[in-house]
Amino acid sequence: MALPAVFPEYSMRLFVAGRERNSVMAHNNITKICHTHLKDNCTLEIIDVFENHTAAMEENILLAPTLVIDTPNREIIIGNLQDELQILTALGIR
Amino acid sequence: MKPAKPTYLDLEKQLDQSQKTLTAIQQGQVDVIVGDDRHMQLLSLKQTIDMLRRNESNFHALADANLIGIGFGDSIGNVTYINDEMLRMTGYSRADAIAGRINWENCLAPENRPETGTWSERLVEQEVVSVQEWAFLRPDGGRTPVLGAASRITSPDGFLVIIALDHTQIRQAETRSWKSDQRLRMAANSLNIGIFEWDLTNDTAFWENDQMYHIFGRSRRLPPLRYSDFLEQALDFRDKKAFAHAFSNAQHPGNVFTFASRIHRPGSSTLSWIEITGKFYQNDSDLSLNMIGIAKDISEQKEYEQTIENINNLLEQRVRDRTAKIQHQTERLRVLTTKLGQVEQKERNRLAAVLHDHIQPLVVGARMQLWELYRKNDIGEAHKNAHKIEGVLEETLAELRSLTLDLSPSAILNDGLAGGVKWLVSYMKKKFAFTLKPRLEKPIDPISENICFLLFQCLKELLFNVVKHSGEDQATVSIERTQDQKIKIIVCDNGNGFDPDTFAQIQNDTASLGLFSIEERLKDIGGRMVIASAPGQGTTVTLTAPAGETDKEITPQEHRHKRRKGDKPAIRVRNTEDSIGILIVDDHKLLREGLMGLLQMEPDFEVVGEAADADTAIVLAEKLEPDVVIMDVNLGEKTGMDATRQILSKNPHIKVIALSMHSDKRVINAMYHAGASVFLNKTVASDKLIAKVRGCISDS
């Protein structure tokens, strides 16, 4: 993903379980939202729990996929992120 | 520090989060619980099973699509799995497969089986048999050509896997293509031209027909001729540069190239001509530049062209030579015509001189004697004058005879060409003190009179040339009749000689013109003249001419004696029966009158009539019944012989006395043969004539 020209307004981390079905769906959905609603004014870090197990444990993330919104407000959303309204609400857009 | 006690709002938020988490889990939106090892292993196993299921699904999809034949076998070749396409190709049924009646070792055609052992054993050794052409031997005896491959596998269900692709249509297409190619090659080989195909980019030859080997004289064991081989080995060095240049310029797809050149054949010392015609094209697959062409052996054609060119050159040379010769002869004819005019004028002058210097004074002398005779009364003196006149006239006649002989020797009339030669011997001796040695091969007669005269004239002129130019005072002449009935005259002298080639170029030389004139006259009658001479080595000239026809030819004398118009017959009444009645027949009036005057002086003679031609003579002889007819020989169209014959046929008692200027034996014999009693020359003395008239009457 291209880096924003200024400090991004939205910062997120997505914890996925390899190429599992829900993890792939979650990745696709949040990417789509970044493009569509955030106009790429965001940073999204993907963390595979199969490869980096401890990072999830430190954040107390127990399920994958899980989206952690750091800014503007910390929010945690579990699942394949198919509920777009839920995510936009968490981001403070709706 | 103890953590802050959660507020209700915190608890409510945790609850809401927990509910959402639970919902997500219930809805199956969670893939994994982080940190649970057992779940991690299950997840991995699940992924493996899913992959195997997908692979199995893909394999079945491939096998069931039946695009290719797929089969498995155990370690001894028994089929453990076979798809429908492989069943079709091997010719077995599904029931055979289920019943275990199919073994891969039996499916393959014998020629595809290993020489030793089995396919299964071979796979143990090399694991994989790469793609190659096989044929399945079906239970019905048929064959299915395939492209197949086999591999050893490690599987609970089998030991080996075989895949095969039906090759039948490709093989059929290949067979059709091969047959078509064979037919094309057969047709190409039956042609009398060489056909080839070159890859010029890679300098290789795709193929060529048998005729190419024949044309280039190469062994059939050798590979097809490449362009570089053709250029370096076959092509003659004289054509190499031009060929390579033209070939290089033409090298473009679509261009047609034609060139005729000379080539060497191995083991042959002679050059051959070939013509190469080809078309350039680009190979679609590798974009190389190729050429397909034909080669023709045009050696014979070139040979014919060369022969025709040589013939043309020869003909042109001959035409040039002939034209030059004709021009040369035309020029010589022109000079000859001028010369002939001069000679004719010279001859006229000579004749005029003879007439003026010899004949005319004699005639004048005779006339003067006559005048003297008129004036004298004395019979005795008159008799003397008459005798002198007779002498003058005899001298005149002698001069005239000499002139006549000079113009046309009577010897020819008497003895033919042989007589003419004898006369020439005497004439040359007398006139030029030149010795002519004749060698006459007999018999040479008969010769046409015209030919005889012509040959005599040619010989005479030739001898004049010898006298003038040879520097010798003698020559030999031989005459013979050849086997092909030609008269050959050879004149040979040992004099100065000359170069005939140089001599022919001299146009204005008198001798050259004389010879040229002789040659032309001989050619005119179908004869020829050959000269053999060299400077200082004498000259031999050979004249050859056909003998010619001898029957019913008119002599020059006959031509000269045409009937004179206006001479009317005269009839006189016979006075006495006792006298000798005489009929005078002559085309010269003066001679008739002279004879009449002479004969009438005789008392016992009576001239009963006179006639100027034969027909009148015949009529008068029948009417007047004379005792004697004095008959001239040349009377015009009808001769004295004809008249004599007809007169005697009606009146056999009449005596005919022939009186002529001729001394030709043939004429004399002809007159005697016609019935004449006496033949007298007109130069005979009058008393002898009178005596002969009386004599023939008394004899009867």
Q: Model's pTM, two decimal places?
A: 0.36
Q: Nearest-CA residue of chain A relative to B20?
A: A78
- The single-letter code of the amino acid at B608 is V
A57 touches chain B (CB under 8 A): yes
pLDDT > 70: percent of chain B: 88
Cβ atoms of residues A73 and A92 within 8 Å: yes
The single residue listed with the structure tokens 């050509």 is B145
3-state SS assignment for residue B294: strand
Q: Do B20 and A62 touch (CB under 8 A)?
A: no
Residues B101-128 pLDDT 10s:
999 888 988 888 887 778 778 777 777 7
A59 touches chain B (CB under 8 A): no
Answer yes or no: is pLDDT of A28 > 90: yes
A64 touches chain B (CB under 8 A): yes
d(CA B192, CA B301): 14
Q: According to the model, what pLDDT value does residue B565 have? A: 40
Residue A42 Cα, gap to closest chain B Cα (Å): 24
Q: Nearest-CA residue of chain B relative to A61?
A: B34
Q: Do A57 and B25 touch (CB under 8 A)?
A: no
B40 touches chain A (CB under 8 A): yes
Q: According to the model, what pLDDT value does residue B83 have? A: 92
Q: Nearest-CA residue of chain A relative to B27?
A: A79
ipTM above 0.85, yes or no: no
Answer yes or no: is pLDDT of B540 > 50: yes
Q: Nearest-CA residue of chain A relative to B26?
A: A79
- Counting every residue written for chain A, the total comes to 94
d(CA B81, CA B124): 20
Q: According to the model, what pLDDT value does residue B563 have? A: 36
Cβ atoms of residues B493 and B474 within 8 Å: yes
Residue A3 Cα, gap to closest chain B Cα (Å): 29
> Quick one: pLDDT band at residue B555, thresholds 50, 70, 90?
very low
Q: According to the model, what pLDDT value does residue B409 have? A: 64
d(CA B173, CA B366): 132
B17 touches chain A (CB under 8 A): yes
Q: Do B34 and A50 touch (CB under 8 A)?
A: no
Range B606-611 average pLDDT: 90
Q: Which phi and psi (to 5°) does residue B466 adopt?
A: -60, -45
Q: According to the model, what pLDDT value does residue B405 have? A: 67
Q: Nearest-CA residue of chain B relative to A75?
A: B17
Q: Which of B682, B677, B681 is nearest to B694 (CA)?
A: B677
> Quick one: pLDDT band at residue B681, thresholds 50, 70, 90?
confident
Q: According to the model, what pLDDT value does residue A45 have? A: 94
Domain boundaries, chain A: 10-90
Q: What secondary structure, in 3-state letters, does B406-417 show?
A: HHCCHHHHHHHH
Pairs of CB atoms within 8 A across A/B: 58
Q: Which phi and psi (to 5°) does residue B328 adopt?
A: -65, -45
> Quick one: pLDDT band at residue B3, thresholds 50, 70, 90?
low
Q: According to the model, what pLDDT value does residue B572 have? A: 56
Q: According to the model, what pLDDT value does residue B342 have? A: 78
Q: Do A78 and B29 touch (CB under 8 A)?
A: yes
Mean pLDDT of chain B: 82
B33 touches chain A (CB under 8 A): yes
Interfacial A residues in 12-51 facing B (CB < 8 Å) = 15-17, 20-23, 49-50
Instruction: List chain A residues with CB under 8 Å of B24.
Output: 63, 78-80
> Quick one: pLDDT band at residue B557, thresholds 50, 70, 90?
very low
| Residues linked to residue B137 through DSSP beta bridges, in sequence order | B143
Answer yes or no: is pLDDT of B441 > 50: yes
Instruction: List chain A residues with CB under 8 Å of B25.
Output: 63, 78
Q: According to the model, what pLDDT value does residue B567 have? A: 47
Question: B698 versus B38: which is more confidently predicted?
Answer: B698
Q: Do B30 and A22 touch (CB under 8 A)?
A: yes
Residues B295-324 pLDDT 10s:
999 988 888 998 999 999 999 999 999 999
B21 touches chain A (CB under 8 A): yes
Q: Do A78 and B33 touch (CB under 8 A)?
A: no
B168 touches chain A (CB under 8 A): no
Burial of B610 (0-12, 13-18, 19+ CB in 10 A): buried
Q: Do B21 and A57 touch (CB under 8 A)?
A: no
Q: According to the model, what pLDDT value does residue B452 have? A: 83
A10-90 to CATH, choices 3.40.1440.10, 2.40.10.340, 1.10.3720.10, 3.40.30.10: 3.40.30.10
Question: B667 versus B227: which is more confidently predicted?
Answer: B227
Q: Which of B478, B420, B490, B475 is nearest to B451 (CA)?
A: B420
Q: Do B29 and A23 touch (CB under 8 A)?
A: no
Q: According to the model, what pLDDT value does residue B575 have? A: 53
Best mutation target, B34, B36, B39, B47, to test chain A (most A CBs within 10 A)? B34
Q: Do A79 and B17 touch (CB under 8 A)?
A: no
Report the range of poorest mean pLDDT among A12-26, B141-155, B375-389, B405-419.
Answer: B405-419
Q: According to the model, what pLDDT value does residue A69 have? A: 94
Instruction: List chain B residues with CB under 8 Å of A63.
Output: 21, 24-25, 30, 32-34
Answer yes or no: is pLDDT of B149 > 60: yes
Strand B678-681 with B655-660, pairing: parallel
Answer yes or no: is pLDDT of B629 > 90: yes
User: Degrees (nearest 5) of the Cα angle B491, B496, B502?
Assistant: 90
Q: According to the model, what pLDDT value does residue B551 have? A: 45
Q: According to the model, what pLDDT value does residue B156 have? A: 65
Instruction: List chain A residues with CB under 8 Å of B27.
Output: 79
Q: Do B34 and A78 touch (CB under 8 A)?
A: no
> Quick one: pLDDT band at residue B249, thresholds 50, 70, 90?
very high
Residue B12 Cα, gap to closest chain A Cα (Å): 15
Q: According to the model, what pLDDT value does residue A79 have? A: 92
Q: According to the model, what pLDDT value does residue B440 have? A: 79
Q: Which of B28, B34, B40 sits opposite A56 (nearest CB)?
A: B34
Q: According to the model, what pLDDT value does residue B566 have? A: 43
Q: Which phi and psi (to 5°) does residue B427 adopt?
A: -65, -45
Range A28-43 average pLDDT: 90
Q: Do A20 and B32 touch (CB under 8 A)?
A: yes
Q: Which of A53, A61, A78 sits opposite B20 (nearest CB)?
A: A78
Instruction: List chain A residues with CB under 8 Å of B37.
Output: none
Q: Which of A50, A63, A80 sits opposite B21 (nearest CB)?
A: A63
Residue B29 Cα, gap to closest chain A Cα (Å): 5
Q: Do B32 and A79 touch (CB under 8 A)?
A: no
Q: According to the model, what pLDDT value does residue B204 have? A: 92
> How remote is the C-alpha of B502 from its chain's centroid?
33
Residues B262-305 pLDDT 10s:
998 888 888 899 999 999 999 888 889 999 999 999 988 888 99
Q: Beta-carbon neighbour count of residue B565 at 10 Å?
A: 6
Q: Do B31 and A15 touch (CB under 8 A)?
A: no
- Residue B605 belongs to what H/E stretch? strand B605-611
> Quick one: pLDDT band at residue A46, thresholds 50, 70, 90?
very high
B675: Cβ contacts below 8 Å, ≥ 6 apart: B644, B645, B648, B656
**Half-sphere exposure (CA, 13 Å, Cβ side) for B688?**
9
Q: Do A82 and B20 touch (CB under 8 A)?
A: no
Residue B21 Cα, gap to closest chain A Cα (Å): 6
Answer yes or no: is pLDDT of B390 > 90: no
Q: According to the model, what pLDDT value does residue B42 have? A: 60
Q: Do A65 and B31 touch (CB under 8 A)?
A: yes
Residue A54 Cα, gap to closest chain B Cα (Å): 9
Residues B45-76 pLDDT 10s:
666 777 778 888 888 888 889 889 999 888 88
Residues B336-355 pLDDT 10s:
788 778 778 887 877 877 77
> Quick one: pLDDT band at residue B477, thresholds 50, 70, 90?
very high
Q: Which of A35-49, B428-442, B489-503 has the highest mean pLDDT?
A: A35-49
Q: Nearest-CA residue of chain A relative to B14?
A: A76
Instruction: List chain B residues with CB under 8 Å of A27.
Output: none
Answer yes or no: is pLDDT of B378 > 80: no
Q: Nearest-CA residue of chain A relative to B32?
A: A64
Q: Beta-carbon neighbour count of residue B95 at 10 Å?
A: 8
> Quick one: pLDDT band at residue A2, thresholds 50, 70, 90?
very low
Answer yes or no: is pLDDT of B501 > 80: no
Cβ atoms of residues B39 and B33 within 8 Å: yes
Q: Which of B29, B32, B34 sits opposite A79 (nearest CB)?
A: B29
The single residue listed with the structure tokens 């190389």 is B288
Cβ atoms of residues B265 and B230 within 8 Å: no
Range B658-667 average pLDDT: 80
> Quick one: pLDDT band at residue B428, thresholds 50, 70, 90?
confident
- Residue B194 belongs to what H/E stretch? strand B194-199
